[in-house]
Amino acid sequence: MNRQLPQDYPPILYIPCVRHVTDPADLEVQYRITKDGRSALLVYSALDRLLAGCGRDQPWFTLPTANLQTLWDAAPFDLVLLDLLVPESERQVVAP
């Protein structure tokens, strides 16, 4: 990531993932593509905000904000969007 995150970012982020997993090694981050073609990482400042923004069935994991660079190193993204409300029609149905 080329930019510093704002100073007031929460210390822990709740991040949507593709499916529920029991082994962290199987974790797959869920990225979104914006209308203009950029890849976006959605992050949430609290669990209730993630559930409100993505739906109650959304799998998720937590990550210290200081470790966000590790996600970018694994799969670079263009944007980090905080506490975004995903329209219900755009929410993914995730198998357990």
Nearest Cα residue to 12 out of 59, 58, 47, 52: 47
Q: What angle do CA 89, 45, 8 make, to 5 degrees?
A: 130
What pLDDT shows up at residue 2? Answer: 60
What pLDDT shows up at residue 96? Answer: 58
pTM listed for this prediction: 0.89
Spell out where 1-96 has E strands. Answer: 12-16, 31-33, 39-43, 60-64, 79-82
| Dist CA 18 CA 3 (whole Å) | 26
For the segment 19-71, what is each residue's pLDDT rounded down to a tens digit? 989 898 899 999 999 999 999 999 999 999 999 999 999 999 999 999 999 99
